[in-house]
Amino acid sequence: MTTVSGIEPRSSGKTRTNLRRDRDPQRLLPRWLQFVTIAVLLLFLLPVVYMLLISVSPDLDAAAGKIWPSTFLFRNYLDVWSTVDLAKGLVNSLIASLSAAVIATFFGLGAAYCLTRFSFRGRAPFLSSLVGLQSIPGVMIILPLFVVFSSLGSALGIPIVGSRPALILTYLTFAIPFATWLLVTNLQQIPVAFEEAAMIDGLTRFGALRKIIFPLMIPGMVVTLVFSLLVGWNDVLFASVLTTPDTQTVAIQLSAFASTTEGGALPLYGQLMAASLISAAPVVILYMIFQRQLVGGLTAGGEKG
């Protein structure tokens, strides 16, 4: 008995060590595949690094094709604010994209709740149509949307084309189906028994949705909010038709800035790269802030119930 008791702790210790090694993420891939993955990631980061270098380079160095600047010109990040009305573009993009993302997330949550908690005729075709709507090119609906907004503006006597509400409504046509589909996959992982227990305790169905489902859906809603915001933030097509100089988004301003610099004697490469990095910074910061919720929401959607 003494010999057996002396051997068991060593065996269990080795077993725990082996389990920790087996669960080590670095051991899931062969070493050569790890090097290949790192090389591919570095390859994708090269354009970003090149943008950073050009943004602090003199325009002569960028025009000559020099990778490393002769002098670091950080003034490009200050001069670009006076060259381009970047602040107005960022505000317009933030208002249009964030408004559409918030509206799409809450409307998508309500639609996803009805689709997952109630059975009705046409439920399955409606779910399939959500995926089909994502495959429709934006070029096919931009003309009908423009005609509808123009006719509605003429009937009401209010200029709708060129306003922020028109842009928000346009983004919602893509964001709401996308948000609904994402939230359906997340809501299916939450057992119905949670709501039934809450309603037995006296809560209404809306109260169960607000106090039980809503807190559990926060990671999935963060994922939906971020990806719905990207629908409007990266848009160039609709914003180029449905905006005026006062409501232009930052993507349109960057496109116009790039086209105007091409006609000059020396393109403002440094300021153009600086403006591009500044316009990408809000989305990167958003990803960094909600990194944990993004990972939790994406993995929750892939679990089996």
Q: At what angle do helices 291-300 and 269-289 cross, to 10 degrees?
A: 60
Q: Quick one: which of 138, 136, 132, 100 has its CA closest to 224?
A: 100
**CA-to-CA dists, residue 117 to 72, 191, 236, 302, angstroms:** 59, 10, 37, 19
Integer Cα distance of 147 and 153 in angstroms: 10
| pLDDT of amino acid 100 | 94
Domain ranges of the chain: 2-55, 76-300
What is the phi/psi pair of residue 162, to 5°?
100, -5
Looking at per-residue pLDDT, the higher value among 242 and 23 belongs to 242
Say which residue the tokens 């994406």 belong to: 298
| pLDDT of amino acid 4 | 44
Residue 239 exposed, middle or buried by CB count within 10 Å (0-12, 13-18, 19+):
buried
Integer Cα distance of 256 and 261 in angstroms: 9
Integer Cα distance of 268 and 279 in angstroms: 17
What is the average pLDDT score of the chain?
82
Inform me whether the pLDDT recorded for 102 exceeds 90. Answer: yes
User: Domain 76-300 class?
Assistant: mainly alpha
pLDDT tens by residue, 263-301: 556 778 888 899 999 998 888 888 888 777 666 655 554
| pLDDT of amino acid 1 | 43
What is the phi/psi pair of residue 260, to 5°?
-75, -35
Q: Is 243 helix (H, G, I), strand (E, B) or coil?
A: strand
pLDDT tens by residue, 145-187: 889 999 988 888 888 888 899 999 999 988 998 899 889 988 8
Integer Cα distance of 195 and 66 in angstroms: 63
The pTM score is: 0.79
Integer Cα distance of 222 and 301 in angstroms: 13
| pLDDT of amino acid 302 | 46
| pLDDT of amino acid 2 | 44
Confidence class of residue 99 from pLDDT cuts 50, 70 and 90? very high
Inform me whether the pLDDT recorded for 246 exceeds 60. Answer: yes
Inform me whether the pLDDT recorded for 211 exceeds 90. Answer: no
